[in-house]
Amino acid sequence: MEKSTQNKIAMILGDGGIKAGFIAGAADEVLREFPNFANDLDYMVGASASAGNVVYYLAMGDHHPGKEMWTTLLTDPRFMNFKGVGDLYRDQPLYDLDFMVETIFKKETPIDQSKVKHHKIQCFLPVQDSESEQIVYFTNRPVSDDTRRDLREVEKLDLYEVIKAASAAPLIFDSVVPLESKTYLDAAALDPLPIDIPEILSSKKVIILTKGKANLLKKFRYVLVSLLFLVFVFPFKRRKLSASKYIQYALKPFKLNRLIDIAINEEQAGRAVIIWPTEKIGGLLDNSSETLAKTYDHGQAAARAKFDDIKKMLLEGV
């Protein structure tokens, strides 16, 4: 029997760059502790770096290499080896997503893409259309509703390239990814917490984030970093996006705060549980094995602290 909309279950994995190891640890812990939740999941959403978490879980289930990926494989200096501000001027991206896809994904941890494309759980992987600057959600379901122009099917696409596009953020990759006849990049500057999707907003949901609401200092820092980049780096850099993409990055905390307010309202109404760090986690340019292991472990601990809340949410209305 078809579940009612209110009884559908979703897991939303937010953005975070290399800090998304926290999200991977928390998601792994929730899915392990609540096998019925995992079996009953209707939707999974993965923003930015978390697109890979979603795809690998759908492809491999409990056997996915999440912990190995986030504590070992991504420590490779060929993926990221930041030495200082001078690296911003190089043509080499700060996160080498081409190495990530070609070596870490395809050679070391390959997936059966058909399992993702035909999985019973519907996924949403947000990207930004680089030309129109509109958000597009790649999904593993046929799109027949003409009113949902924000949806694209992944059936004929290479999922490795979809993950790359979803992760291709300003400052850390600085390039677009071609898919079919269009080019895309990370949508996190426009939709850092993909909760405002009709299917997701109406469901019970577990939301995992790497950060809380941005205070005035954090907002100022985003604006300052973007301004300094546009003035002192952008004119001299060959590998770069259009200037508007860095302005979007500057405004990201303002959009995140609005979406977190929606999430908090959902949690207060008993339709969501939010898991986020209770202490500072590693930086966006630190992929040392020690930092990544601590980040993943903290995700697990933060999830365990919310087990009672998750049980309560899942039991309500049953």
pLDDT tens for 222-237 read: 999 999 999 999 999 9
HSE of 25, CA atoms in CB hemisphere, 13 A: 24
Cβ(28)–Cβ(300) below 8 Å:
yes
pLDDT tens for 169-183 read: 999 999 999 998 999
Closest CA relative to residue 303, chosen from 36, 24, 65:
24
Tokens 């990544």 sit on residue:
292
pLDDT on residue 317: 55
Q: How confident is the model at residue 315 (pLDDT cuts 50, 70, 90)?
A: confident
Cβ(179)–Cβ(165) below 8 Å:
yes
In angstroms, the CA 58 to CA 93 distance is 28
Tell me if residue 44 falls in helix, strand or coil. Answer: strand
In angstroms, the CA 261 to CA 207 distance is 13
pLDDT on residue 7: 80
Cβ(74)–Cβ(287) below 8 Å:
yes
Terminal CA-to-CA distance of the chain, rounded, Å?
A: 14
User: In Å, what is the CA distance from 128 to each residue of 118, 141, 197, 282?
Assistant: 24, 19, 15, 26
Percent of the chain with pLDDT over 90: 86
pLDDT at 135 over 60: yes
Residue type, 276: W
pLDDT on residue 282: 87
Closest CA relative to residue 245, chosen from 175, 194, 182:
175
Which positions ≥6 away from 135 have C-beta within 8 Å?
126, 127, 128, 129, 150, 187, 190, 191
Closest CA relative to residue 189, chosen from 130, 245, 262:
245
pLDDT on residue 2: 62
pLDDT at 1 over 60: no
- Which of 3-7, 71-75, 221-225, 264-268 shows the lowest per-residue confidence on average (mean pLDDT)? 3-7
pLDDT at 4 over 80: no
pLDDT at 318 over 60: no
In angstroms, the CA 101 to CA 124 distance is 20
pLDDT on residue 144: 80
How much is the average pLDDT of 144-148? 74
pLDDT tens for 101-130 read: 999 999 999 999 999 999 999 999 999 999
Strands 182-186 vs 177-179: parallel, antiparallel or unpaired? antiparallel
As beta bridge partners, residue 273 has 206
| Summary mean pLDDT of the chain | 94
Tokens 């680089």 sit on residue:
130
pLDDT tens for 283-299 read: 889 999 999 999 999 99
pLDDT at 98 over 70: yes
DSSP state of 87: G
pLDDT at 51 over 70: yes
Closest CA relative to residue 193, chosen from 292, 129, 124, 282:
124
Our separate counts of H helices and E strands in the chain read 12, 9
Element (H, E) at 165: helix 159-167
pTM over 0.75: yes
Tokens 């207060």 sit on residue:
268
How much is the average pLDDT of 71-84? 94
Q: How confident is the model at residue 149 (pLDDT cuts 50, 70, 90)?
A: confident
- Which of 147-156, 197-206, 207-216 shows the lowest per-residue confidence on average (mean pLDDT)? 147-156
How much is the average pLDDT of 64-75? 96
pLDDT at 65 over 60: yes
pLDDT tens for 5-27 read: 668 999 999 999 999 999 999 99
